[in-house]
Structure 1
Amino acid sequence: MTLTTVSEIYAFEGIQGVYKHASDVTNCEMEFSVYVPSSAALEMAPVVWYLSGLTCTQDNATTKAGFQRTASELGLVIICPDTSPRGETVPDDPEGAYDLGLGAGFYLDATEEPWSSHYQMYSYITQELPALVAEHFPVDLGRQAIMGHSMGGHGALTLWRKNPELYKSVSAFSPICHPIDAPWGQKALNNYLGTDVGEWSNHDACALLLNHGPIEGVQILVDQGMGDQFIEEQLKPDQLELACGMVGQDLLLRRQMDYDHSYYFIATFIEDHLRHHAQALANL
């Protein structure tokens, strides 16, 4: 598959690159970033996928999270995909709202028109993009972890639970834990998947755990800022804690006083998350 380099910048002895390609899955051009540590020149490196939240592109985490220093130290490749397909032919929210359409792919494969022809982010993240990355970068796809923020935290939790053979470790910042019961999630799931709430449960971290049980040997790490304005209506970390407790899933939910929903919060604790993943991947 052809890959075009948008930019490559030297950072902490590694390369922070941005790339684009024509996607057969989303039927449009997609852009993503990859940080490759210098240690990857000696041996194939483990991978951490970072999924961003509503309104974001690959650029938000790449420029604001500050993960490069720790990734270089730990020898981790960090991949930041976009949050949705983009382009003139890609449908958007008809009212221009931020929580549907462009920047709001919710990391699922849409089945409803007009979304289904482009909004195939689940297949893009789990299949097409890994194959492309493996073709062009020194990555060990036998050692993958996944993390994300807000909508991306929802993506990380659901993609991990549905694909434990792919992702050996998982974490999230301020995830949408129970989208079936949250306005953001209800709007997106209804539009992308239709009115069958039973189908929605396949894209809800709490429902997936309750319906399919825990993954043994994996600890979910979640950081939630207690000054986050979305915590009660949209994020619902207490529901994730309850679901994990009911099925026996190991969860470390850290309630961080005073922190909000921003990248200042993420930058404060990103090192902890990368060390969490590095330790899990080193044991493989």
Structure 2
Amino acid sequence: MAAVKSKVKLFGGVLQRMTHTSKVCACDMTFAVYLPPQAETSAVPVLYWLSGLTCTDENFSQKAGFARAAAARGLAVVMPDTSPRGVTIEGADDTWDFGSGAGFYVDATEPKWAGHYHMYSYVTEELPALVESTFAGKLIAGKKSISGHSMGGHGALTLGMKNPTAYSSISAFAPICRPTNCPWGTKAFTGYLGSVEAGMAYDACELVKGYSGPPLKILVDQGAADNFLTGEADQLQPNALVEACAASNGRVAVEMRLQEGYDHSYYFISSFIDDHIHFHADALGCSAAEVN
């Protein structure tokens, strides 16, 4: 069961923040759901949005400007938190890029973290089951796509490719494309999984190499002025994903759009979110609608 924390009308639809006790994360978790106006009369498909480091379920709903296009196309959006909250783990709140707000969408195996940090199973299994049961009749069961930003872009890419029949489409903004070869990923995989090598199972470039699902096209937007793109802070490595996809013999294709002058922020996301909403709405078979 999920309890409603808040509810607000938005472009004819309803945005709700909800809380529930998660079995896989062994704590209370908060998530948000946007139901477009079409959900009042017929079931609609769902886009799962995964946010980045330091974010909660609120960043996307407050800053991305997604709802106008989602309402026009009849697309629900689910926004989970980025990590367990309110659990007592030594070091969980010591840094901004590991622990609270930084679950990295993996299932932790290191004993210190394994009791709570199961964001992979939470997003792919527990949360969809809860959402579909809570909003039965308003959402089309099993009809979903996935997108995200930065750490959440990494999550969208990896969850999508690890579950090739679960999602109709995948997109990302400034994703961490090769986490086994960057500081953020090295820290996360060593901490949660015990080694960088164990993180290969959550590395988008490695997953492209072994991808055996239906032909896949991924949409990625990357800001050319992103401060995490080059130099010592080379966290994102979009070219590695482009190269991996080019070597996949057509199994995985990526449309990598380098957006001049844009950074890593929600100003960047809000500038191109409509394109991503329409990309997923098309893949999910939503009816066409003009966005005013």
Question: Do the structures match in fold with TM over 0.5?
Answer: yes
Give the Å deviation of 1:228: 0.1
- Asked if 1:230 corresponds to 2:228, the answer is yes
- 1:244 corresponds to: 245
Give the Å deviation of 1:213: 4.9
- 1:266 corresponds to: 269
**Aligned partners of 2:180 and 2:196 also within 8 Å:** no
Are the structure 2 counterparts of residues 71 and 51 from structure 1 closer, same or farther at C-alpha, using a change threshold of 3 Å? Answer: same
| Structure 2 spans left out of the alignment, 5+ residues | 287-292
- 1:5 corresponds to: 4
- 2:114 corresponds to: 116
- One-letter amino acid matched to 1:110: A
Which of the residues 122, 126, 129 maps onto 2:127?
129
- 2:285 corresponds to: 282
Give the Å deviation of 1:142: 2.8
Deviations 1:85-143 (A, max 9, x none): 0004255447x111110000000100002100000001100111111101111211332
- 2:290 corresponds to: none
Q: How does 1:39-78 map to 2 (within 5 A)?
A: 39-78=38-77
- 1:142 corresponds to: 142
State the SS of the aligned residue for 2:158: helix
Q: How does 1:169-208 map to 2 (within 5 A)?
A: 169-195=169-195, 197=197, 199-208=198-207
**Aligned partners of 1:149 and 1:172 also within 8 Å:** yes
| Structure 1 spans left out of the alignment, 5+ residues | none
**Aligned partners of 1:146 and 1:167 also within 8 Å:** yes
d(CA) in 1 for partners of 2:153 and 2:28?
A: 24
- Asked if 1:153 corresponds to 2:153, the answer is yes
**Aligned partners of 1:91 and 1:115 also within 8 Å:** no
d(CA) in 1 for partners of 2:87 and 2:255?
A: 42
Give the Å deviation of 1:195: 2.1
Deviations 1:210-259 (A, max 9, x none): 1335641x310000000000013100000000000000221100000010
**Aligned partners of 2:18 and 2:31 also within 8 Å:** yes
Deviations 1:133-192 (A, max 9, x none): 011112113321000000000000000000011111000000000000010000000111
**When the two structures are superposed, what TM-score results if normalisation uses the length of structure 2?**
0.93
**Aligned partners of 1:214 and 1:244 also within 8 Å:** no
State the SS of the aligned residue for 2:18: strand
d(CA) in 2 for partners of 1:31 and 1:92?
A: 22
RMSD: 1.5
- One-letter amino acid matched to 1:236: Q
d(CA) in 2 for partners of 1:253 and 1:88?
A: 38
- One-letter amino acid matched to 1:161: M
d(CA) in 2 for partners of 1:38 and 1:90?
A: 41
**Aligned partners of 2:19 and 2:30 also within 8 Å:** yes
**Aligned partners of 2:218 and 2:255 also within 8 Å:** yes
Give the Å deviation of 1:12: 0.5
- One-letter amino acid matched to 2:241: L
- One-letter amino acid matched to 1:276: F
**Aligned partners of 1:112 and 1:194 also within 8 Å:** yes
- Asked if 1:87 corresponds to 2:82, the answer is no
